[in-house]
Chains A and B, each alone.
Chain A
């Protein structure tokens, strides 16, 4: 299959993603040092909040979106054995998204958009920031269209056949992202941009928060689905085994898409503008969405066990030792699952309607987010990068042992950074403070944890450097490498799939109904009651 054009497309997206990652990692180290207060000459709240805002946008929006797009294009191309549909269209999407990033970066780096990546109106950023963010999302919609078109092309050519699992998951993600981004798109287009440009005078912060909550939960599943796709369809092959169940994987992806959408109010548990009943409804949905993760944990670990036993592992746990720990993708999943266990436990605390009050907006939340996103999700992005780079660049990985050391150091750094962060939250430290100024004895108990976090940050930034260096040297290498992505086969071949496991039509209707129930009245109420908007506030 001649897919040089697809390789270039995917690799270009990946370089933007990991370029943003490298820059944001350095900012992360600056932040953890600045906030500790031990280095007076570094202290500047203006620089700190500009850095926090940029770090969040680069990690949360740029790394993820570009990685997901590049990964999706290549998965579609290699699983369906179809050329990427309308490459001009795909490159246009890339161009729109990149233009958005550059536009948003200008006010961010100049300190004109220090409103954090969650916007927080009535704090107002420079209008260019909102316009840039919008273009990034619009660019990603081009990708969604490409994925759905290719999925339809394949289904038309192969009626009744099961869509290859990796593409099924990628299409699920494209559909998820279209639903997900609608909330923030409405907020930005009808509230933030007209308000920042002076066309309207006030903004209803309660409505803005409700619309952002529409997006805020499923967006993390948009980031997570490539990781789960690798868990199911790439890792078992790399480990030397098979997927335990293709059908359960499909069910898990469908559950993720359907139930990650109508549950965003767990970000508003502590908010005054939504009533108890809606919050409880979303709380119940939040626990339903743990099901696909429970299922994934089981199926993926069962797949690894099959691999371990095929490799000669014996006994109850012997198969774990028999896994190829020196394969970056296998190591990434082992470390990723370990972080998922701890991060998932923290998530259950956050999701609990009452316990959340103890940790809400404290340092615990930042720690949780870094562990589950920076840890579980991103470490698998690294695993995918190490596997895809030689294939896309046509050159062997510069240094495989450095890749292994990098994954271990990322894991260790993340544990050293996020454990104290969680403890600081339990000790009452608010999140996102640039310095400690409270005249209270409680703050003395925070100091050892602030120090420990710096070591975590140092290890993480060295690890990030090792990743970028390895990928860069691979790209520049002189040897040639010929290889193609190999997908894991299920133990039991998939045949006669029921339509609901091979199509999204039914599920889109279900999502539409769920969203109407979960968000219909909570949004409508702002138009039924007398509300008072807020003017524009600087930072």
Chain B
């Protein structure tokens, strides 16, 4: 039935189809860069990958030199000078009792900030940034890592443990406030 073929879709149909297609195409990117997807900074601690919400990461700074501060707990690496600001650096691996790693050229200070709380976390390496849909982070039922569940925000589909930056920043155990007993 050649007539039928020649007739094809009517102009109205064509318009409708094109519109539908356009709508589909237009929606796609919206879905991806979508509202609410989380940007996660991937770091390495004691050979394992962890994530940190980049919302709370002020900057990442190569650990060039640091000054140890005496009379502080072992999890305090020391202080660094970042553009004139003196910033404490916490060896979070040591705080979590993870196996010790030597400092290397890849060692990074991840400066976390939320409200007034601000300090650097020592990471063995920073491997990159990726986007994660918020639904993808699930509370882990059993500990997948050596880090206590209270410090974890959750675990992604490919079992990347995302640290709870807000919880860590607010943790009083990481605040040094000691007086010499009279």
A, B co-complexed: no
Which residues of chain B have a CB within 8 Å of any CB of chain A?
Answer: none
Which residues of chain A have a CB within 8 Å of any CB of chain B?
Answer: none
